[in-house]
Amino acid sequence: MSYNLDRDVLTRAMKELGGIGFDHITVEIPDGLTPRQYGALLSDNGFSPAPGYFSGRWSDHDSHAGLVEALKVHAAAHAELGLDRAFIAHDLVPERIARPAVGVAADPFRLAVIADGLALAAEAGVAEGVRYALHPHVGSWIETEEETRSVLDTTAGSDLFFGPDTGHLYWAGADPAALMRSYSDRIIAVHLKDVNMSARDTAIAKGDEYRAATVVRHVWTEPGQGAIDFEEVFKSLPAAFDGWFVIEVDVPDAASAVESSAISLAFVNQHPYFAPVTA
């Protein structure tokens, strides 16, 4: 589930996305580019940076110190690019890649270790001027609603915020709106994607592994094309919410990535929630 990202790939992506109407892109700096060079590349192509994503094996207590140091670099790059927030997650793990979205091998003691590491990381991020928001991810040790609530409750009062992904939450059986409502005061950014209910149910019933469920069966779909109630999702946010919305359809359900992006942007542009406020 790896991919190649370099200057040419990024430039081509921005050309395609710009033609659709996008003008922001999630921060992911290719090897060989400094944050300054990366920012210049985006600017030259008419783009600005949007919050990126940091993940690590937080379940390994001995890795916490090294991960925190790596996160400081990630945070410093975001700050240099003018961003004050980013997403944070646990790496995907073999046990849950093999059997995703059903909470395989759940362990409350492991979650406590993870929560401790994330709280340390969030504190380090704030010191660099960047707030980090928990991103539950199918295939990771923070996958289910119970696990998400456990980490958020354990870290209450810390510098860790919440960055829900509507699709990952729904695939793992959560009601995204209800969960978001519970922690609305900690949400600073949201990943928007939808879920094909039929594909989701079949993938779980047949025990699909992660790639089969996403790439072959197409669990993911573009916002507004699936089962998620986005009316309730947007209602779950505070009235004065001023955080980020990042469209992220991991595997396009449409015929191409360009078409998927166009459908997704049209959903945002046409939804009343995003209508300009008039006096």
Residue 2 predicted with pLDDT over 80: no
Q: Name the DSSP letter for residue 189.
A: E
Mean pLDDT, the chain, integer = 97
At 4, the amino acid letter reads N
pLDDT at 277: 65
pLDDT (tens digit per residue) in 235-264: 999 999 999 999 999 999 999 999 999 999
pLDDT (tens digit per residue) in 78-91: 999 999 999 999 99
Pairing between strand 53-56 and 85-90?
Answer: parallel
Q: What is the band of 276 on the pLDDT scale with cuts at 50, 70, 90?
A: confident
Query: What is the C-alpha separation between 24 and 19, in angstroms, rounded?
Result: 12
Q: What average pLDDT does this structure show over 210-231?
A: 98
* DSSP E strand stretches across the chain: 24-26, 48-50, 53-56, 85-90, 131-134, 161-162, 189-192, 194-195, 220-221, 244-247
pLDDT at 278: 60
pLDDT (tens digit per residue) in 66-123: 999 999 999 999 999 999 999 999 999 999 999 999 999 999 999 999 999 999 999 9
Token readout for 243 is: 């955080």
pLDDT at 4: 85
Q: What average pLDDT does this structure show over 38-50?
A: 98
Residue 231 predicted with pLDDT over 90: yes
Residue 9 predicted with pLDDT over 80: yes
> Which neighbouring-strand residues pair with 190?
245
Classified as helix, coil or strand, 187 is: strand
Residue 52: how many CA atoms within 13 Å on its side-chain side? 22
